[in-house]
Amino acid sequence: MAEHWDPAADGVLRLPSGRLLRGRGLSRPIPEGPEPDFALYLLGKTPPEVAWESRWIRWPDFRLPADRSAAREGFLEAWQRCETERVEVACAGGRGRTGTALACIAVLDGVPPESAVAYVREHYDRHAVETPWQRRYVAGFRRKLNSEH
């Protein structure tokens, strides 16, 4: 089992289950400390090469994922893996797309969809989830997840 993130480290979100995820902006230097075991990158173009396993979800800035099914699969993989691995979720700035993904992962962890944005803003970044359509996407996430699986 991999060593987990330091819960006090910058960008680390503790889910209600105790699982830890690190959110960050790829436009900033990688934080000191251990590398991720797995990363979910949310970008409009191919992400940079990294030394760890990663998954790319095509997601233009200030928008929603280009492929909603792939996004749900990515969120589920990140949530499952963060139980035993260091998982990073990142976009360019670390707020809009990253916050939206973290809120959806929080829903998977049991946070009610209508509370997930507030949860991520309180425990990760007060500016997370930047647009009204990102907030609506999170609010409808469980319904979409349940209706398609």
Structural tokens at position 70 = 């792939």
Phi, psi for residue 40 in degrees, rounded to 5: -115, 115
Residue ranges per domain, the chain? 12-148
pLDDT digit string (tens) for the chain, length 149 residues: 457 999 999 999 999 999 999 999 999 999 989 999 999 999 999 998 999 999 999 999 999 999 999 999 999 999 999 999 999 999 999 999 999 999 999 999 999 999 999 999 999 999 999 999 999 999 999 755 444 44
Q: 100 with 134: CB under 8 angstroms?
A: yes
CA 47 to chain centroid? 15
138 DSSP assignment = H
Q: Which residues, other chains included, contact 61 with Cβ-Cβ below 8 Å and sequence gap of 6+?
A: 44, 91, 92, 93, 96, 97
Rounded to two decimals, what is the model's pTM?
0.93
CA 19 to chain centroid? 13
Task: Answer positive or negative: Cα dihedral of 69, 11, 122, 93.
Answer: negative
pLDDT given at position 14: 98
Structural tokens at position 76 = 């589920």
Phi, psi for residue 121 in degrees, rounded to 5: -65, -35
Strand order in the sheet with 38-43: 12-14, 20-25, 87-91, 38-43, 53-58
Structural tokens at position 23 = 């959110």
For the domain covering 12-148, report its CATH number. 3.90.190.10
CA distance 23 to 10: 9
pLDDT given at position 1: 46
